[in-house]
């Protein structure tokens, strides 16, 4: 039995625009799951369904054995950290953090103890009397976290919480979030469009596109074994060769060239994808998965040169060591090592 289950969630706006179509998601207790995808993919909508701000037109949301689909927001007891932080500008830090506890009608002394503990944990003790307008972005972020955590939520939802911070602070904060998550064992759903942020922090990642989850896996698997063209592109693959299965590990390109692939796949047809770093500029002695190509544009990347080459399997991007320099127009042989090719499903 999973801790959190989204079962065939549908969301439509204005009765016309479908945002989520039959979305399924399962999360184990204490996991940190990221929803990753470009803007408009439905990740924020999914989060808002879980939070209760959007009532889905179909499907159900189960948490800890209880159906939450129609529970009003204020009875859910989920902590939410907003992209804008949404701190109450007329309340100081202490009152912001105490807001939820006061609504739980706890005793004053208990509220004080809980708030002070939480401020301590988040390194905010000295700011208790400050107003949000007097604080820096990073400090506000901490207040938002403290305010959401202090109510001991069943679930913590974070909507691009780090996108308004500068690069250095972002890294500090994501370590902080991970630390708090481990400390309290809270189940977290984290929405982001930044893959580095997402991979570094998550136990599992759901890559979303067009209101659907394209792949739900560990960060390592997403990075090394993308299942669809969309996921592959999103995490930086940029060479795609249409392939059809011939037999076993042999695939055939549109130009009838044979390509060997080590990875086992059930797909009869798909795209072979490979990172620019993994393509080799081959000499005469190699014969496996080799194609003739003409060099196009060359750009200097520092540790390597990047070439756009026109091969018999189409245009490819190749990163080659700086030892040997090729000029546009040079004829070369490129090798696609069979253990580096991944077959992915073509995305719409």
Partner 1 sequence: MKKQLPYLLLMPGSILLIVFLILPLIKVLFPTIYEGTFTVKNYREFFQDAYFMKILIRTLKIAVLCTVISMFLGVPTAYFISRCNKKKRGLLLALTIFPLLTNSVIRSFAWINILGRNGIVNTLLMNAGIIEKPLTLLYTEFSILVGSIYLFLPLMIITVAGTMENIENDLMEAAESLGASRLSAFIKIVLPMSIPGIIVGNILVFTGTLTAYTTPQLLGGNSNLVLATFIYQRAMSLGDWTGAGVVAAVMIAATMVVLRIFNALAAKIDERGEKYA
Query: Which of the ranges 39-47, 83-91, 220-228, 288-296 carries the binding residues for partner 1, by CB under 8 A?
Result: 83-91
Q: Judge residue 322's burial from the number of C-beta atoms within 10 Å of its C-beta, 0-12 exposed, 13-18 middle, 19 or more buried.
A: exposed
**CB closer to partner 1 out of 147 and 340:** 147
User: CA 161, 7, 208, 64 torsion: positive or negative?
Assistant: positive
**CB closer to partner 1 out of 55 and 220:** 55
Establish if 300 lies at the interface with partner 1 (CB under 8 A). no
> Which of 53, 79, 59 lies closest to 5 in space, CA to CA?
59
**Angle subtended by helix axes 108-121 and 137-149, to nearest 10:** 130
Can you tell me which of 20, 32, 33, 80 binds partner 1, judged by CB under 8 A?
80
Query: Which of the ranges 145-153, 248-256, 316-324, 335-343 carries the binding residues for partner 1, by CB under 8 A?
Result: 145-153
Can you tell me which of 65, 133, 323, 329 binds partner 1, judged by CB under 8 A?
133
Q: Could you tell me the smallest distance in angstroms from the CB atom of residue 129 to partner 1? A: 9
Establish if 147 lies at the interface with partner 1 (CB under 8 A). yes
Establish if 86 lies at the interface with partner 1 (CB under 8 A). yes
The answer to whether 158 and 191 have CB atoms below 8 angstroms apart is yes
**CB closer to partner 1 out of 101 and 317:** 101
289: left (phi over 0), alpha (psi -120 to 50) or beta: left
> Which of 163, 171, 165, 115 lies closest to 143 in space, CA to CA?
115
Q: Could you tell me the smallest distance in angstroms from the CB atom of residue 68 to partner 1? A: 13
> Between 24 and 53, how does the x/- string for binding to partner 1 read (CB under 8 A)?
---------------------------xxx
**CB closer to partner 1 out of 33 and 151:** 151
Can you tell me which of 11, 35, 76, 154 binds partner 1, judged by CB under 8 A?
76
**Pairing state between β 187-192 and 155-159:** parallel
Establish if 3 lies at the interface with partner 1 (CB under 8 A). no
Subset of 90-109 contacting partner 1 (CB under 8 A): 90, 99-100, 103-104
Distance CA 276, CA 295 (A): 14
CB atoms within 10 A of CB 223: 15
Tracing tokens 């798909």 back to the chain, one arrives at 270
Establish if 66 lies at the interface with partner 1 (CB under 8 A). no
123 DSSP 8-state letter: T
Establish if 82 lies at the interface with partner 1 (CB under 8 A). yes
Can you tell me which of 15, 16, 17, 75 binds partner 1, judged by CB under 8 A?
75
Establish if 132 lies at the interface with partner 1 (CB under 8 A). yes
The answer to whether 101 and 160 have CB atoms below 8 angstroms apart is no
The answer to whether 302 and 259 have CB atoms below 8 angstroms apart is no
**CB closer to partner 1 out of 72 and 185:** 72
**CB closer to partner 1 out of 106 and 212:** 106
Which strands, in side-by-side order, build the sheet including 342-344?
A: 258-260, 250-252, 239-247, 269-274, 342-344
Distance CA 146, CA 33 (A): 20
Q: Which residues bind partner 1 (CB under 8 A)?
A: 51-53, 72-80, 82-84, 86-90, 99-100, 103-104, 131-134, 147-148, 151
């Amino acid at each position: 039995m999973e801790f959190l289950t989204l079962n065939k969630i549908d969301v439509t706006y204005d009765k016309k625009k479908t945002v989520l179509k039959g979305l399924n998601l399962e999360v184990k207790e204490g996991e940190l799951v990221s929803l990753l995808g470009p803007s408009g993919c439905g990740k924020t909508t999914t989060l808002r369904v879980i939070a209760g701000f959007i009532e889905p037109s179909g499907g159900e949301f189960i948490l800890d054995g209880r159906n939450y689909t129609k529970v009003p927001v204020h009875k859910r007891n989920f902590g939410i950290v907003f992209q804008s932080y949404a701190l109450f500008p007329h309340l100081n830090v202490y009152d912001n953090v105490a807001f939820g506890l006061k609504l739980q009608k706890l005793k004053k002394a208990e509220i004080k103890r809980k708030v002070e503990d939480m401020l301590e944990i988040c390194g905010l003790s000295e700011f208790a009397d400050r107003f949000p307008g007097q604080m820096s972005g990073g400090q506000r972020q901490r207040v938002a976290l403290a305010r959401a955590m202090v109510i001991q939520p069943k679930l913590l939802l974070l909507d691009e919480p780090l996108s308004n911070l500068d690069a250095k602070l972002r890294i500090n904060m994501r370590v902080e979030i991970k630390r708090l998550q481990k400390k309290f064992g809270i189940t977290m759903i984290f929405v982001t469009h930044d893959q580095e942020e997402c991979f570094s922090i998550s136990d599992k990642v759901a890559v979303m596109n067009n209101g659907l989850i394209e792949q739900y896996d560990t960060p390592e698997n997403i990075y090394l074994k993308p299942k669809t063209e969309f996921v592959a592109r999103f995490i930086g693959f940029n060479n795609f060769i249409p392939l059809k299965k011939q037999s076993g590990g042999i695939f055939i390109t549109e130009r009838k060239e044979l390509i060997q692939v080590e990875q086992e796949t059930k797909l009869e047809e798909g795209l072979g994808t490979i990172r620019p770093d993994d393509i080799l500029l081959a000499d005469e002695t190699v014969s496996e998965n080799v194609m003739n190509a003409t060099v196009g544009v060359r750009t200097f990347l520092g540790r390597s040169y990047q070439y756009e080459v026109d091969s018999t399997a189409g245009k490819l991007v190749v990163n080659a060591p700086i030892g040997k320099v090729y000029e546009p127009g040079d004829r070369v042989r490129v090798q696609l090592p069979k253990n580096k090719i991944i077959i992915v499903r073509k995305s719409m």
